[in-house]
Amino acid sequence: MSSLGELRKSRELLVNLTMRDVRSRYKRTVLGNVWSLVNPLAAMLIYTLVFGFFLKITPKPGDPSGLNVFALWLLCGLLPWTFLSGGIGVGMSALLNNANLVLKVYLPRSVLVASAVLALGVTFAIEMGVLSGVILAFGSNVLLHVPIALFFMVLLALFAMGLGLGLSVANVYFRDTQHFIAIFLQIWFYLTPILYPLTYVQDKQDLLAKQGHHIPMVLLFKLNPAEHFVTAFRNLLYDNKLPTLADTAACLLSATVAMVIGAWVFRTYEGRLAEEL
């Protein structure tokens, strides 16, 4: 069979498996797909209450959009993060969850990881669509930036997929992986400026510098790929402007590196999957 035919079939399989996940996720629930919006809404409410109201975290108003709504500012960072961490999670456990397929049928196994991430991507796209609608209702015309946001969503999906690919085989060999990653994701979440703006880190760094402690905290924060994604999405949707070239490059680079390494790890350890599962 030509590799082109193989690719076409994989694509069909990818679509089918993605649809399986999407269709079955909210089967037998009364609210159905509404659930996919309830979750981020609940998270937004509680974070807004704690961080926006009690702790009074005040990000700068959107420039040039002029938006000054903590909940919207939060969601612009929270939704991509939720997708990233969720994508890593489902991608990582895709092989274990589909053990029966790995053991009994031949199929390109990477499709299992990719479809799990993509199925979550469908939810992510809906959430982002609703968010764009709300921002629009608040008077900021984001429509022009939606296609660019889509491009960044694809990059984010590739980033999550690359990590998922690598971690999924690791998880087959060591079941510790998923527990370790759960903790890691929690730390990663708080070390990414999602609940607070990066300017707070800058302020702290300046304060410490005055006391004689020179710690390049902002630089360290900038080493985190998720920071660039969050910043890019906030630029596009909240501020209503294009992300900086540096952020764009960082997103592109991290997606590429994650995919290359993830695919390499996957291909190297894929051979004995059926035995190790």
Partner 1 sequence: MSEPAVVVENVSKRFRMYRDRNQSLKQTVLQRRRAKYDDYWALRDVSFEIPQGTTFGLIGENGSGKSTMLKCIARILRPDEGSIRTRGTLAALLELGSGFHPELSGRENVYLNGAILGLTRKDIDRRFDEIVDFSGIEQFIDQPVKNYSTGMYVRLGFSVAINVDPDILLVDEVLAVGDAAFQQKCLEKFNDYRRDGKTVVLVSHAMGTLRTMCDDIVWIEKGRQIESGASPEATIDEYLDRGHEERTVDESGATRWGTGEAQVGAVEIIDAGGQQTSLVHTGDDVIVRLHWVAHERVERPVFGLGIETVEGVVVTSTSTRGVAGVPDVLTPGASFVDFRLPKLMLLPGAYDLQVSLTDHTMVHTYDFLRHSLRFDVESGTPREVGGIVSLGGSWHGPPSDVTPKPVPPSVTRGA
Q: Which positions lie near partner 1, rule CB under 8 A?
A: 1, 8-9, 12-13, 15-17, 19-20, 23-24, 27-28, 98, 100-107, 173-176, 180, 271-272, 274-275
CB of 174 to partner 1, least distance (A): 5
- Amino acid identity of residue 10, one-letter, is S
- Alpha-helical (H) ranges within the chain are 3-25, 35-47, 70-97, 99-104, 110-137, 146-173, 176-191, 198-210, 217-222, 225-233, 245-269, 273-276
CB of 12 to partner 1, least distance (A): 5
CB of 276 to partner 1, least distance (A): 9
Q: Looking at beta carbons only, is 18 or 82 nearer to partner 1?
A: 18
CB of 93 to partner 1, least distance (A): 14
Q: Looking at beta carbons only, is 75 or 111 nearer to partner 1?
A: 111
Q: Which long-range contacts (C-beta less than 8 Å, at least 24 apart) are formed by 262-268?
A: 262/161, 262/162, 262/163, 262/164, 262/165, 262/166, 263/110, 263/162, 263/165, 265/165, 265/166, 265/169, 265/170, 266/109, 266/110, 266/113, 266/165, 266/166, 266/168, 266/169
Distance CA 96, CA 178 (A): 11
Q: Looking at beta carbons only, is 204 or 272 nearer to partner 1?
A: 272
Residues 6+ apart with CB under 8 A from 220: none
Q: Looking at beta carbons only, is 187 or 219 nearer to partner 1?
A: 187
CB of 210 to partner 1, least distance (A): 43
CB of 168 to partner 1, least distance (A): 14
Distance CA 95, CA 149 (A): 30
Using an 8 Å Cβ cutoff, are 219 and 248 in contact? no
Using an 8 Å Cβ cutoff, are 82 and 126 in contact? no
- Amino acid identity of residue 171, one-letter, is N
Q: Looking at beta carbons only, is 171 or 192 nearer to partner 1?
A: 171
CB of 260 to partner 1, least distance (A): 23
DSSP character for 67?
-
Q: Looking at beta carbons only, is 107 or 252 nearer to partner 1?
A: 107
CB of 111 to partner 1, least distance (A): 9
Indicate the burial class of 34 (C-beta count within 10 angstroms; 0-12, 13-18, 19 or more).
exposed
Q: Looking at beta carbons only, is 28 or 213 nearer to partner 1?
A: 28
Q: Looking at beta carbons only, is 53 or 174 nearer to partner 1?
A: 174
- Amino acid identity of residue 195, one-letter, is L
